[in-house]
Structure 1
């Protein structure tokens, strides 16, 4: 094992010769058995550890809040099977599904946004800006209006809607291949089409159906159950390792399509695979808690700046997304006494300034159009 100082990815040395360069410390390691080697970036590892600790703390606080207040110690003991029967019943049956839904949905949205922003090299690329979230939402609202809104039916509808929207984006953006710029532009158009279809369904549904759909459309963790969490947990167990496996190929895409092909990367195959992984994450997350706004857009950008990397890191983005959803849910429950706001209302208020900042930054850089 050795430690070395290297310039951060994408860094251009414009400093004067007598000024020290900004460096990022990393540790390379090699294990004899099993034969594994790799690089650990110390700043990224430290940021991920801090984010994981803060996420666990927020998770415990969310579980502790309710009509019967619990201390953090009682929550931790109950989570690990050491509490009294009454506390374990409250934690495991009444509050844990909601907190776990927020945790898993935040991870899904954060990782999905990181993959799409890296693939397109555009900080504005996210599932809720490219029509994928809206496609899943339209399909689920159609299921609610048609009376098919329970169990795996909702998950299947969300996946079908997201896949359909993603397929339309990719096909319409195809012109002897695809580029990140065309994918984002076409995605914005698909998002508005799906939004219009959702509005049509809401207008022609029964009143109670429209109310149920509206409560779901703003993003809501109220009343989550284990039956809704199980499909999302299974999807994450499959899709998250797949997302990490494509990390190297995504990094080569930053060098341009021609260079990536020269390095042996199948550019279009990687784009399709990453798009499918992102679609799966968004579809199951949206079907579980609704289209929680701006998490997939803001979490990767926050994680990128915390870690100092050239592109959003998926692990840090997932942890940031989980922390954002849990904290927003806590704010939504405590902001107005005796009233629980949908979590999407809070994430929308917090995420809108991030979107405006990204637009201003893109314009100053000359890439905002």
Structure 2
């Protein structure tokens, strides 16, 4: 280490402009870029699979306008919205997971574990089965409102001279269990057709995503991504503790509220358009942290990992559909994420009780 310079343990570069400045890790930039490129590659391959197989050359011709026939309709109208949704929604889930895992300082801090997804689901179930409204905007509003309301309830119940990450997770799991019982009661009281509609939506599927719900979802996603990018430096300071954050010029209360709203909204937007897609927000940040070898959870790398995971799950669902029968992408993430959750719980238990070597 030369005089006047601090060694951060990894190679960094300082970026300065007229409005912002900051230090970024080179490995984080390389990993994030590679993950997004991988997600785009998986999406391109997914465009070739389906009931009407295509080649990459046909897909490229359809995207560039060189092909004006039926292939162009298949690619642009039917498959492209789903692929874009897989990449963007995966990135949103990765961002939401990174925010809550940083706020709680716990790898179990995820919107689907804490119960915010359950709140969105309950609101949608009430909207469809009780109110009788199943349009996109009704479902979207219900999902966002339900997620934010659940977040508020969990935050209030877990607040005791501040917020402790482990207490927030435990309260969230309890609230989620209560909401699951409410959902089960409403579904058992509903008509068979309505119950099947809610059940299919709850499986979490990208197959029903079209340009109509995707365009507003992309607009909201752009706002959330910008919000997360602006709040990311304050999130890093909050990881050092509220006292250190105040010393560095950050107001913990408003910043934490903004981060919670942003994190909940990322999961709610995905839930509104595609149903609850679980475990992406849980696994993506920790897997990205291991690739970047960083001390904390980075939002860009988590977004790239989430995009790669959901794009890969979508491609896997297409391959399973060709070999067997259609499977919602939410069931694939549930099966894969369940194994990851078991491993994570065992690892956390070993570390807590000193069982690791």
Per the shorter chain, which TM-score range?
A: over 0.9
Give the secondary-structure state (helix, strand or coil) at the position aligned to 2:304: helix
Give the secondary-structure state (helix, strand or coil) at the position aligned to 1:365: helix
User: Does structure 1 residue 345 correspond to structure 2 residue 343?
Assistant: no
Deviation at 1:41, TM superposition (A): 1.6
The structure 1 residue matched to 2:282, chosen from 289, 294, 297, is 297
Kindly indicate whether the alpha-carbon contact (under 8 Å) linking 1:5 and 1:26 is maintained by their aligned counterparts in 2.
no
Kindly indicate whether the alpha-carbon contact (under 8 Å) linking 2:33 and 2:304 is maintained by their aligned counterparts in 1.
no
Kindly indicate whether the alpha-carbon contact (under 8 Å) linking 2:281 and 2:306 is maintained by their aligned counterparts in 1.
yes
The answer for the alignment partner of 2:315 in structure 1 is: 330
Instruction: Structure 1 unaligned segments of length 5 or more: list them.
Output: 9-22
Kindly indicate whether the alpha-carbon contact (under 8 Å) linking 1:178 and 1:268 is maintained by their aligned counterparts in 2.
no
Give the secondary-structure state (helix, strand or coil) at the position aligned to 2:14: strand
Range with greater deviation from structure 2 (85-94 or 186-195):
85-94
Give the secondary-structure state (helix, strand or coil) at the position aligned to 2:47: helix
Deviation at 1:47, TM superposition (A): 0.6
The 1:178/1:30 distance shift into structure 2, 3 A limit, reads closer
Deviation at 1:29, TM superposition (A): 4.1
The answer for the alignment partner of 1:16 in structure 2 is: none
RMSD of equivalent CA atoms: 2.0
The answer for the alignment partner of 1:364 in structure 2 is: 350
Kindly indicate whether the alpha-carbon contact (under 8 Å) linking 2:36 and 2:307 is maintained by their aligned counterparts in 1.
no
The answer for the alignment partner of 2:266 in structure 1 is: 281
Higher relative contact order (CA 8 A, sep 6+): 2
Kindly indicate whether the alpha-carbon contact (under 8 Å) linking 2:279 and 2:337 is maintained by their aligned counterparts in 1.
yes
Structure with more of its chain in helix, by fraction: 2
The structure 2 residue matched to 1:76, chosen from 51, 60, 63, is 60
Give the secondary-structure state (helix, strand or coil) at the position aligned to 1:246: helix
Distance 1:5 1:341 in 2: 54
Q: Give the aligned length.
A: 349
- Give the alignment of 1:47-196 within 5 angstroms: 47-146=31-130, 147-196=132-181
Distance 2:88 2:37 in 1: 16
The structure 1 residue matched to 2:234, chosen from 240, 249, 252, is 249
Range with greater deviation from structure 2 (131-140 or 323-332):
323-332
Deviations 1:148-176 (A, max 9, x none): 11121110010111011011011111223
Kindly indicate whether the alpha-carbon contact (under 8 Å) linking 2:317 and 2:327 is maintained by their aligned counterparts in 1.
yes
Give the secondary-structure state (helix, strand or coil) at the position aligned to 1:298: helix
Give the secondary-structure state (helix, strand or coil) at the position aligned to 2:13: strand
Deviation at 1:7, TM superposition (A): 5.1
Kindly indicate whether the alpha-carbon contact (under 8 Å) linking 2:98 and 2:297 is maintained by their aligned counterparts in 1.
yes
- Give the alignment of 1:302-317 within 5 angstroms: 302-317=287-302
Deviation at 1:257, TM superposition (A): 2.2
Task: Give the alignment's TM-score, normalised by structure 1.
Answer: 0.89
Deviation at 1:367, TM superposition (A): 7.1
Distance 1:53 1:157 in 2: 34
Range with greater deviation from structure 2 (291-300 or 136-145):
136-145
Instruction: Structure 2 unaligned segments of length 5 or more: list them.
Output: none
Distance 2:146 2:291 in 1: 33
